[in-house]
Amino acid sequence: MALNRGESYHKLRKAVAFANFGKLRFKNEHEQQIWQECSRLITNCIIIYNATILSNLLAYRESTGDIEGAAALKKVSLIAWQHINLHGRYEFTKNIDLIDINEIIRTLARVPVREI
C-alpha cells in the first residue's frame, strides 16, 4: 500500500512538473532546483486541498448518518488530480473570490461516493 502511495505521489509530481509540454528551459542548475522545489510545493498543495475536501466531506457524511458513504470515502486517495487544471492559463493579478469549501462539500454531498 505504501509503495502505491509513493508511486502515486511521484506520478502527481511528474504531472505538475510537466510544464510547457515537457520542454523546460533552465539557464542554470539553480533555476532547475527552484523548479523542482516549486513542483514539490504545488504537489503538496494539491494533496492538502484534497485532504481538506475529503475530511470535511467525511465529517458531513458521518454527521448525516451516511455510514456507507463515510466508509467508502475512507478509501479515497488524497493523491488525485483529475479535478485540477494543470495545463491552464492562470492570472494572479485579478481579485478573485476565495474558495468556498462549504459549497464544495454541499455539491459533493449530492454525488454518490463511487463517483467521487
| pLDDT tens for each residue of 71-105 | 999 888 899 888 888 877 777 787 778 889 999 99
Task: Write the CB contacts of 109 (distance below 8 Å, at least 6 apart in sequence).
Answer: 57, 60, 61, 64
Domain containing 19: what range?
2-115
Question: Alpha-carbon distance 59 to 74, whole Å?
Answer: 11
- Residue 48 vs residue 116, higher pLDDT: 48
User: pTM of the prediction?
Assistant: 0.80
**Does pLDDT of 115 surpass 80?**
no
Question: Alpha-carbon distance 23 to 20, whole Å?
Answer: 5
Question: Alpha-carbon distance 49 to 54, whole Å?
Answer: 9
Q: For the chain, what is the domain count?
A: 1
Read off the pLDDT of residues 23-34 as tens digits, 9 standing for 90 and up: 667 788 898 888
Could you give the angle at the alpha carbon of 41 between the alpha carbons of 77 and 23, nearest 5°?
A: 100
**Does pLDDT of 50 surpass 90?**
yes
